[in-house]
Amino acid sequence: MQLSSQGVLALLAVAGLGGLGSVLRLLLSRWDGFLPYGIMVANVLASFLAGFALIFSSASGQQSLITVFLTMGLAGGLSTFSTFAAQTGGFFQADKRLKGVLNLLGNLLFPPVAVVLGVLYASSLLK
């Protein structure tokens, strides 16, 4: 498979933004309290970005490079299903059921709400 110079630049942009998202996730992961709030916030922010990017994709009628950069790059690096799943499993394994249930509910309920908020915010900017 051959890539054009524009394709190579797109790959580099996604890799760079994915790396930036991963660094942000690492920094956020240090916010730990009753629950691992940092990972939950990372997942919520990534979902907000994805919802925001959806509007730009539909407004242009095609998937734009900005949408790819935001969703696959920045949001992809920022979000983490595996860490949330491992943390939740760890709570249940340590017999901390309340924390496990709250972490599970928070990471499954807040991100879809954030997508909707991202869509609404982007829609309001395009009006």
CB 17, CB 65: distance < 8 Å = no
Does residue 120 fall inside a structural domain?
yes
pTM score = 0.88
Q: What is the pLDDT, as a whole number, of residue 65?
A: 77
DSSP-assigned letters across all residues of 33-98: SSS-HHHHHHHHHHHHHHHHHHHHHHHHTS--HHHHIIIIIIIHHH--HHHHHHHHHHHHHTT-HH
Q: What is the pLDDT, as a whole number, of residue 91?
A: 97
Does residue 51 fall inside a structural domain?
yes
Q: What is the pLDDT, as a whole number, of residue 61?
A: 62
Q: Which of 118, 123, 124 is nearest to 52 (CA)?
A: 118
* Number of domains the chain contains: 1
Q: What is the pLDDT, as a whole number, of residue 81?
A: 92
| Domain interval for residue 74 | 9-126
Does residue 4 fall inside a structural domain?
no
CB 29, CB 36: distance < 8 Å = yes
Rounded to a whole number of angstroms, the CA Rg of the chain reads 17
Share of the chain above pLDDT 90, in %: 72
Does residue 15 fall inside a structural domain?
yes
**Residue-wise pLDDT tens digits, 44-100:** 999 999 999 988 777 766 667 778 888 899 999 999 999 999 999 999 999 999 999
Q: Which of 49, 37, 97, 52 is nearest to 73 (CA)?
A: 49
Query: Which residue, chain included where needed, has tokens 């930036």?
Result: 20
Residue 1 has pLDDT above 70, yes or no: no
Residues 12-29 have a mean pLDDT of 95
Does residue 56 fall inside a structural domain?
yes
Does residue 1 fall inside a structural domain?
no
